[in-house]
Amino acid sequence: GAGVSQSPSNKVTEKGKDVELRCDPISGHTALYWYRQSLGQGLEFLIYFQGNSAPDKSGLPSDRFSAERTGGSVSTLTIQRTQQEDSAVYLCASSLNGDRVGNGYTFGSGTRLTVV
C-alpha cells in the first residue's frame, strides 16, 4: 500500500483480556518497528524486525508482550492479560533499509489502546 496501515485505530478492552494489534508495512520495506507512546510522552521502543534476522525484542516491557512478523510483511503485536498501564498509542513504522542511510521511518497512524 501507499503507507503503513494499522488496525484497529482504537481499541477499548477490559483489564485482563488479551489484545492483538496489526500492522501492514509499506510493500518492499524490510524493516518493521513497534513503538509505544503514552499521552504527551515520547516514543518508547518495543521491538524491531529486519528481514529474516531474529527480532530485537529488547524494548518489550514484560513477557505479556510479544510480536511476530509473518512472511516478512504483516506484523501482529499481542498483549496478554492487559493492565491499565498498557493504555497508550501503539505505533508501527517501516523502513526501506533501516535508518542507516537516513531513509527515515514511515509511521502508521497508530492504535489507541485503552484498558478499563
Partner 1 sequence: GQSLEQPSEVTAVEGAIVQINCTYQTSGFYGLSWYQQHDGGAPTFLSYNGLDGLEETGRFSSFLSRSDSYGYLLLQELQMKDSASYFCAVRVPYNTDKLIFGTGTRLQVFP
Please enumerate in sequence order all residues whose Cβ is within 8 A of that of 34, keeping only pairs 6 or more positions apart, or say none: 23, 46, 47, 48, 67, 75, 77, 90, 91, 92
Residues 10-49 that bind partner 1 (CB under 8 A): 31, 33, 35, 41-43, 45, 48
User: Vertex 68, ends 54 and 92: CA angle to 5°?
Assistant: 100
**Among 5, 30, 17, 16, CA closest to 111:** 5
Q: Tell the smallest beta-carbon distance from residue 17 to partner 1 (Å).
A: 25
Q: Tell the smallest beta-carbon distance from residue 115 to partner 1 (Å).
A: 20
Q: What is the DSSP letter of 72?
A: T
* Of positions 17, 104, 114, 116, contacts partner 1 by CB under 8 A: 104
Q: Tell the smallest beta-carbon distance from residue 9 to partner 1 (Å).
A: 11
Q: Which is nearer to partner 1, 14 or 101 (CB)?
A: 101
C-alpha cell at 7: 488496525
Is 109 a residue that touches partner 1 (CB under 8 A)? yes
Is 50 a residue that touches partner 1 (CB under 8 A)? yes
Please enumerate in sequence order all residues whose Cβ is within 8 A of that of 59, keeping only pairs 6 or more positions apart, or say none: 44, 45, 46, 47
Q: Which residues bind partner 1 (CB under 8 A)?
A: 4, 31, 33, 35, 41-43, 45, 48, 50, 56, 58, 91, 93, 95, 97-102, 104-110
